[in-house]
């Protein structure tokens, strides 16, 4: 079974009922829920989603997201110090700056999990040769 990483914007588009990307993001999550493929995300992604919702004072969506993650088949990996160290190495290898530090950390997590595909609308992932962005 194919396994893919899920970026924060997929969850945010669904929770915020984004008119441009919400329905596509729902289809992605539905595919994972129905077991057509397996999905991974990380504690960093969860934190990004919670922070985004908090910043917009969308507290109802915070509760909804928490409940979703608790019952979701999407696996959640911890963000480790080794992920941060590898992110720095990836930054140097790709001649990137720290303005994309969170993408670098996710790239290091994907590498650790041996994942090469990510569900994301973030075109910054297109800079990584070993990551295929799907959206």
Residue 12 lies in a domain: yes
* pLDDT score for 112: 98
Full DSSP string of 23-76: HHHHHHHHHHHTTSSEEEEEHHHHHHHHHHHHHTT-HHHHHHHHHHHHH-S-EE
Residue 60 lies in a domain: yes
Residue 99 lies in a domain: no
**At 64, is the pLDDT very low, low, confident or very high (cuts 50, 70, 90)?**
very high
C-alpha 94/C-alpha 77 separation (Å) is: 24
- Phi, psi (rounded to 5 degrees) for 103: -65, -35
Helix (H, G, I), strand (E, B) or coil at 1: coil
CATH, residue 13: 3.40.50.1010
Residue 105 lies in a domain: no
Q: What is the pLDDT of residues 27-42, one digit of tens each?
A: 999 999 999 899 999 9
Higher pLDDT, 9 or 2: 9
Is the confidence at residue 1, as pLDDT, over 80? Answer: no
Residue 129 lies in a domain: yes
Residue 88 lies in a domain: no
* pLDDT score for 56: 95
Residue 43 lies in a domain: yes
C-alpha 100/C-alpha 74 separation (Å) is: 24
Helix (H, G, I), strand (E, B) or coil at 3: strand
Q: How many domains does the chain have?
A: 1
53 contacts 65 by C-beta, under 8 angstroms: yes
Taking the chain, what is the end-to-end CA distance rounded to the nearest angstrom?
19
Q: What is the DSSP letter of 19?
A: T
Residue 92 lies in a domain: no
Helix 59-71 vs helix 8-15: angle between axes, to the nearest 10 degrees? 120
44 contacts 84 by C-beta, under 8 angstroms: no
* pLDDT score for 94: 87
**What is the domain range of residue 127?**
3-78+115-134
* pLDDT score for 106: 98
Q: What is the pLDDT of residues 94-115, one digit of tens each?
A: 899 999 999 999 999 999 999 9
Predicted TM-score (pTM) of this structure: 0.95
């Amino acid at each position: 079974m194919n396994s893919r990483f899920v970026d924060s914007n997929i969850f945010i588009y669904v929770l915020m009922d984004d008119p441009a990307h919400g329905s596509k993001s729902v289809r992605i999550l539905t595919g994972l829920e129905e077991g057509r493929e397996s999905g991974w995300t990380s504690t960093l992604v969860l934190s990004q989603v919670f922070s985004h919702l908090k910043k917009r004072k969308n507290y109802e969506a915070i509760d909804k997201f928490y409940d979703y993650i608790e019952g979701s088949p999407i696996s959640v990996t911890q963000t480790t110090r080794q992920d941060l160290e590898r992110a720095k190495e990836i930054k140097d290898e790709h001649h990137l700056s720290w303005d994309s530090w969170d993408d670098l950390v996710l790239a290091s997590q994907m590498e650790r999990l041996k994942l090469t595909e990510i569900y994301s609308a973030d075109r910054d992932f297109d800079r990584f040769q070993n990551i295929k962005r799907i959206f």
